[in-house]
Amino acid sequence: MYRFLWIILLSSICFSQTSKEKAEAFIAEKSFKSAQNEMVVFLKENPEDKEAIELLGDAYGHQKKWDEAIEQYKTLTDKQPNDANYQYKYGGALGMKALSISKLKALGIIGDVKRAFLKAAELDPKHIDARWALVELYVSLPGIIGGSNSKALKYANELQKLSKVDGYLAKGYVYEYDDEPELAEKYYRLAIKVGGSVTCYEKLTNFYEGQNQPEKAIGNLEEAQNKLQRNAMHYQIGKVCADYNIQLDKGEKCLKAYLSHYSSKDGVPKAWAYYRLAQIYNHKKDKTEALKWIEKAITGLPKIKVFQEEKARINKL
C-alpha cells in the first residue's frame, strides 16, 4: 500500500517538473503561446504552484497580454508579498500596461507601479533591475505626478555601488533626459571604459545621434568595431553615413563588408543593408546603382513602406 502511494507521489512530482520544464523550454524558444497552454493545464491540477504561476505570467508578458500577466503576478505578491522579484515583475507588467493605454487611464495605475518597484528595491538591496526601473520611471514621469531627476540619480547611485557599469549608464541616461549633454557623454564614456560592451557603445552612439553629432557617432562605432570585432557594427556605421549623408565612401565600404560577412546572428536582415546602400547611391546621384540596391531590398522585404518611398525618391533623380 505504502509503495503504491509513493509511486503515485513520485509520478506527480515528475509530471510537475516535466510540465514546468516544458514551459521554460517553450519560453526559451519564444513559443510563448505553447508555454501559456502548458501552464494553464498544469495549474488546473496545481493551483498553488508559485513557480507555475510565475511561468504563466511570463508567458503572458512575452505576448503583451498585460492584464493576464498582471493577474498572475498580483496572485504571487498576495501569496508572498516579501518576494522582491514578484514585486518587480508585478510593477513591470503594470508599467507596460500603462504605456499601452491612454495617458489619462495610465495615471490611475502609476502609483501602483511605483509602489511595486520601491517595494522590490527595499526588499532586495542588490536588485539591479528594480533600481533601473525606478531610474527610468522617475525620469519619464512629469514632476506633477511624481517624476524627479534627483530621485532617479539616487537610484543611479545605488546602481553604481552594485555595478559601476550600470551606475554610469543610468547616470548618462538621467543627464541625457535632463538636457545636460556634457555630463551624459561623460558617464556614457565611463561606462565604456569600465564595461566596454556592445550595450555601452550603443548607448553612446544613440546619444550622439540624438544630439545630431553623426561624426562622433561614427567615431564611436569604429572604436567599438576595432575593439569588439562585431560585424553588426559595420551596418551601424553604414546606417549613420546613409542617414546623415556623410562619409559616403566609408558607409558603402562598411555595408558591403556587413553583407559579405553576414550571418543570422548579426540581427539586421540583409534587406536593410541593401536599403542603406540604395540611400548612399541616391546621395551620390548614381541612379542605376541606387535602383539596383533598392530592388534587392524590396525583394527581400516587400512590405516595408520606407523601401517603396526610397524607390520613389530614386526614380526622381
**Could you report the per-residue pLDDT of 181-226, keeping only the tens digit for each?**
999 999 999 999 999 999 999 999 999 999 999 999 999 999 999 9
The rounded distance, in Å, linking the Cα atoms of 307 and 272 is 9
Flag whether pLDDT at 14 surpasses 70: no
- Of 198, 190, 187, which is closest to residue 267 (Cα–Cα)? 198
Is 57 contained in some domain? Answer: yes
The residues near 261 (Cβ < 8 Å, ≥ 6 apart) are 231, 234
Question: According to the model, what pLDDT value does residue 115 have?
Answer: 94
The residues near 76 (Cβ < 8 Å, ≥ 6 apart) are 50, 53, 54, 57, 83, 86, 89, 90
Flag whether pLDDT at 314 surpasses 90: yes
- What value, to the nearest 5°, has the Cα angle with vertex 33 and ends 29 and 34? 65
Flag whether pLDDT at 71 surpasses 50: yes
Place of cell 518597484: 117
Question: For the whole model, what pTM was predicted?
Answer: 0.84
Flag whether pLDDT at 307 surpasses 80: yes
Residue range 53-60: mean pLDDT, rounded: 93
Is 49 contained in some domain? Answer: yes
Is 307 contained in some domain? Answer: no
Q: What is the rounded average pLDDT for all residues in the chain?
A: 91
Residue range 80-89: mean pLDDT, rounded: 96
| 114 within 8 A of 146, measured Cβ to Cβ | yes
Question: According to the model, what pLDDT value does residue 4 have?
Answer: 46
Is 162 contained in some domain? Answer: no
Flag whether pLDDT at 57 surpasses 80: yes
Flag whether pLDDT at 10 surpasses 50: no
Looking at the 3D structure of the chain, how many domains does it have?
Answer: 1
Is 108 contained in some domain? Answer: yes
The rounded distance, in Å, linking the Cα atoms of 170 and 191 is 9
Is 173 contained in some domain? Answer: no
Instruction: Give percent above pLDDT 90 in the chain.
Output: 79
Question: According to the model, what pLDDT value does residue 194 have?
Answer: 96
Going from the C-alpha of 235 to that of each of 210, 216, 270, 273, the distances in angstroms are: 18, 16, 10, 7
Q: The domain that contains 69 carries what CATH number?
A: 1.25.40.10
Question: According to the model, what pLDDT value does residue 143 have?
Answer: 57
Cell of 82: 516579501
Is 182 contained in some domain? Answer: no
Lowest mean pLDDT among 95-109, 124-138, 233-247: 95-109
Residue range 236-252: mean pLDDT, rounded: 97
- Per-residue confidence at 141, pLDDT binned at 50, 70, 90? confident
Residue range 23-43: mean pLDDT, rounded: 90
Sign of the Cα torsion 263, 267, 273, 274 reads positive
Domain range for residue 39? 34-124
Question: According to the model, what pLDDT value does residue 146 have?
Answer: 64
Place of cell 502609476: 110
Is 25 contained in some domain? Answer: no
